[in-house]
Chains A and B, each alone.
Chain A
Amino acid sequence: MSDQARTSVTERPALVLAQFAGPKELIMAAKKTRGAGYKKFDCHSPFPIHGMDQAMGEKQSPLGWIVGGLALIGGTGSLLMQWWMSAIDYPVIISGKAFFSFQAFVPITFELTVLLSAFGAVFGMFALNGLPRLHHPIFNSDRFAAASNNGFFLSVEAADAKFDPLQTTSFLESIGGEHVETLNEEVHDD
């Protein structure tokens, strides 16, 4: 696995990883892991599995609130911008039209509402997911590359209160996990 020869760095367990046969087995494993009292665990699959959120007891994604907030900022901000630029800062008479006519400002208000909502959806999703994160102890597994192909994995993090490398390993084996392995992360000594 990892090289333990380095001097200034020690390693400690970060998570226990187990592989399961397919989507159905992974959902059952998630239910059992949750039932056993584990909180900080995650399932890894090449595609989102229908019903996994319920099996893991996941709360709904809060992303909608982020997008809603940014949509509000985009809408009011762009309308205020057009009003201030066209009617306050430098009013110019064009075709005898009113300086502030909200009808003419609707298209750009709409477009900027959409633009900021899209930024909120994409970058809000990155923030909630903690991405980009190019390095993660889970990538130390040789088998884990299959998670983007045909592999179905369940990982229990060391931060979980019930976590114990040996007990968690035997638990995951008892619920049908294969190739159960403990993955370490590096800790820099002082």
Chain B
Amino acid sequence: MTSQAPTAYVAPPLISGNPTFQSVSDDIAGVTERKQPVVWYLGFALFFSILLMFGGITGYLFWEGVGIWGLNIPVAWGWAIVNFVWWVGIGHAGTLISAILFLFRQRWRTSINRMAEAMTIFAVICALIFPAIHVGRVWFVYWTLPFPNQMSMWPNFRSPLLWDVFAVGTYFTVSLLFWYVGLIPDLATLRDRATTRLKRVLTGIFALGWRGANHHWKNYERAYLILAGIATPLVLSVHSVVSFDFAVSLVPGWHTTIFPPYFVAGAIFSGFAMVMTLAIVARKIYHLENFITLRHFDAMNKIMLATSMMVGYAYICEFFIAWYSGNEYEMFAFINRATGPYAWAYWTMIICNVFIPQLLWSGRLRRNIVAMFIIAIFINIGMWFERFVIVVSSLANDFLTSSWDYYTPTIFDVLTYVGTFGVFFTLFLLFIRFLPMIAIAEIKGVLPQADPHHDGENGMQERPALAGGGSHE
């Protein structure tokens, strides 16, 4: 404590290291122009091999049928649906960062939104694989779309599974468009920096002839705002619709009204854990410490802590409602979760999702890279187990004891799941290799010198807290 009069709060700069417009371009676009580090090649070799394995496994699945999985009756939904919900949930953090934090003017999001949006798209691709290969006769999967056909039949629009087709399909399309719109100015940067003709032509085509004109920026910013505005209810609807797959049925443990908000909170929780996992590694390997600062991780850790408690609240609330309903099947379903044959999965979930994230109350741990990486990995695991508990424990012990069965995955369940990591990380590594993993134009926009009133001319005062990228002079 000093005896000096308190001065106005000045927020630390969003981007550290006093970058210039030129150095931002060089640092971020440079990653795609330099030779990749050895670890990129090792990672690509590993995950591309897994991707090839995944191709073989799904080929065998198409040949042999879903009987190669551990499914039984009553557990007709197993790992495939668990993985579907897990992957689609991971995607949600990307949209939260790109759309919801944009609407709330959280300007720190600019450092991580590109990477998070890419994660969303690749996670949704992995998610979409599972219901598609789960239908059994995968060559008929297009029957879910309403198109005129020789049977003159239409899909059943009253089925939550069909809602899912539209929800996740729309989600993928809108995420891809949002991502691409954000990429256009950066593709123009890559085009103007290109050293080879092939690169200039390719980036030039995808940059659409962008010339940074204010006439364009005007419509561009409006399009971005509208996309953020519609992606926000969309992302909330997608996991709500995913939860309808369960909630609209009559299975005890599934038929609850808390599912939509509970699923959405869990989705954001798991998604942030995956963003952390990816961002920590990419930041370390590509030396992006000035762009993704401890302040960013601190903010993300707070969101993880908040969503962890929302999820924890939902776990408690489910138990309360089951008891309060007076319905003996509901009560049994929940007691059975915590003490029955799947208690090991339930307590793994509770420990990973509720107990371990409580460490994030500590400000020191929120700024400790190793600690947050470990916590994020636990959350990734815990959220997988949450979906496993919901799907499997509810089905395995349903209404009649005579029909109960214990579900065990086969090696093909495991390899299919592992295989989607090959899909995900192969795509992510290619993204890092060829596209700017941080939004160059947006980063420039939050630099202090981007503000036309930067030096306080025209009697304008600095607005450090509001502008985010406040002066550090």
Closest chain B residue to A145 by CB distance? Answer: B192
Q: Please classify the interface of chain B as helix (H, G, I), strand (E, B), loop, or mixed, using the class held by over half of its residues.
A: helix
A47 touches B230 (CB 8 A): no
Asked if B58 is an interface residue, CB under 8 A from chain A, the answer is: no
| B226: A residues at CB distance < 8 A | 63-64, 67, 117, 121
Give the shortest distance, in Å, between A66 (CB) and chain B (any CB). Answer: 9
B162 touches A47 (CB 8 A): no
Per-residue A-contact encoding for B208-245, CB less than 8 Å = 1, 0 else: 11111111111111110011001101100100010010
A149 touches B152 (CB 8 A): no
Give the shortest distance, in Å, between B400 (CB) and chain A (any CB). Answer: 21
Other 17 A-B pairs with CB < 8 A, given A111-B166, A115-B170, A131-B209: A23-B454, A42-B215, A47-B444, A48-B220, A52-B214, A61-B219, A61-B222, A90-B154, A94-B156, A118-B170, A121-B177, A121-B223, A122-B181, A134-B204, A136-B211, A145-B192, A149-B21
| B67: A residues at CB distance < 8 A | none
| A108: B residues at CB distance < 8 A | 157, 162-163, 166
| B367: A residues at CB distance < 8 A | none
Closest chain A residue to B192 by CB distance? Answer: A145
A127 to B442, CA, bound (A): 23
Closest chain B residue to A104 by CB distance? Answer: B158
Asked if B452 is an interface residue, CB under 8 A from chain A, the answer is: yes
Closest chain B residue to A91 by CB distance? Answer: B154
By CB atoms of chain B within 10 A, which of A47, A51, A135, A136 has the most?
A47
A129 touches B220 (CB 8 A): yes
A47 touches B215 (CB 8 A): no
Binding site for A on B (CB under 8 A): 20-22, 25, 146, 152-160, 162-163, 166-167, 169-170, 173-174, 177-178, 180-181, 185, 188-189, 191-193, 204-205, 208-223, 226-227, 230-231, 233-234, 237, 241, 244, 440-442, 444-445, 449-455, 457
B157 touches A86 (CB 8 A): yes
| Chain A stretch 16-66: residues in CB contact (< 8 A) with chain B | 22-24, 26-27, 30, 42-53, 56, 58, 61, 63-64
| Chain A stretch 105-153: residues in CB contact (< 8 A) with chain B | 105, 107-108, 110-112, 114-115, 117-119, 121-122, 124-126, 128-129, 131-136, 138-139, 144-150, 153
Complex partner residue of B20 from A43, A110, A134, A150, CB under 8 angstroms: A150
A49 to B426, CA, bound (A): 37
Give the shortest distance, in Å, between B184 (CB) and chain A (any CB). Answer: 8
Closest chain A residue to B168 by CB distance? Answer: A111
Complex partner residue of A24 from B219, B221, B457, CB under 8 angstroms: B457
Asked if A97 is an interface residue, CB under 8 A from chain B, the answer is: yes
Give the shortest distance, in Å, between B435 (CB) and chain A (any CB). Answer: 15
A45 touches B192 (CB 8 A): no
Complex partner residue of B453 from A24, A94, A115, CB under 8 angstroms: A24
Asked if A89 is an interface residue, CB under 8 A from chain B, the answer is: yes
Chain A interface residue count: which class?
35 or more
A126 to B212, CA, bound (A): 13
Nearest first, the 10 A-B pairs at minimum CB distance are A150-B21, A132-B208, A125-B223, A145-B192, A85-B154, A48-B217, A61-B222, A47-B445, A107-B163, A104-B158
Binding site for B on A (CB under 8 A): 22-24, 26-27, 30, 42-53, 56, 58, 61, 63-64, 67, 81-82, 85-86, 89-90, 92, 94-95, 97, 101, 104-105, 107-108, 110-112, 114-115, 117-119, 121-122, 124-126, 128-129, 131-136, 138-139, 144-150, 153
A63 touches B214 (CB 8 A): no
Q: A108-B166, A112-B170, A118-B173 are in contact. Are A90 and B152 (CB under 8 A)?
A: yes
Give the shortest distance, in Å, between A61 (CB) and chain B (any CB). Answer: 4
B181 touches A104 (CB 8 A): no
Give the shortest distance, in Å, between B157 (CB) and chain A (any CB). Answer: 5
A114 to B221, CA, bound (A): 18
Q: A61-B219, A134-B208 are in contact. Are A114 and B234 (CB under 8 A)?
A: yes
16 CB contacts below 8 A, A to B, read: A23-B449, A24-B455, A46-B21, A46-B185, A63-B223, A81-B146, A85-B154, A86-B156, A86-B158, A114-B233, A118-B227, A122-B181, A125-B222, A133-B209, A139-B211, A148-B212
| B189: A residues at CB distance < 8 A | 46, 148-149
| B204: A residues at CB distance < 8 A | 134
| A144: B residues at CB distance < 8 A | 211
B209 touches A42 (CB 8 A): no
